[in-house]
Amino acid sequence: MLVLPAELTHAQAGACLSMLVQALRRDAESLVVADASATVVFDSSALAVLLACRREALALGKGFVVRGLHARLASLAQLYGVSELLPVQG
């Protein structure tokens, strides 16, 4: 499971993505779960990080879902037309 930080804005995006991709590559599971439940301070960079993680997971032949996606972040994904790329796990 990939755990996103409480704050994920442009300032943290690069370092966060690096750490998440490293964890994703080490994970032997066929389904990558990105846990965004702790992420409460964010901007559109959070979506970019999630989409990059999804791309990496798919490149490795893994599935990708998001758990605990904040309603405002889900709305932002819908506004940008990428919500279907970030399936939410109940």
Q: What is the pLDDT of residues 27-63, one digit of tens each?
A: 999 999 999 999 999 999 999 999 999 999 999 999 9
- Tally Cβ neighbours within 10 Å of residue 13: 19
- Number of domains present in the structure of the chain: 1
Q: What is the pTM of this model?
A: 0.95
pLDDT tops 90 at residue 90:
no
Strand partners, 34: 2, 66
Stretch 3-32: mean pLDDT: 97
Q: What type of residue sits at position 23?
A: A
Query: Which helix or strand (DSSP H or E) is residue 64 part of?
Result: strand 63-67
Domain hosting 64: range is 2-89
User: Residue 90: is it exposed, middle or buried by C-beta count within 10 angstroms (0-12/13-18/19+)?
Assistant: exposed
Instruction: Report the CATH number that the domain containing residue 78 is assigned in CATH.
Output: 3.30.750.24
Asked whether 56 and 24 are in contact (CB, 8 A), the reply is yes
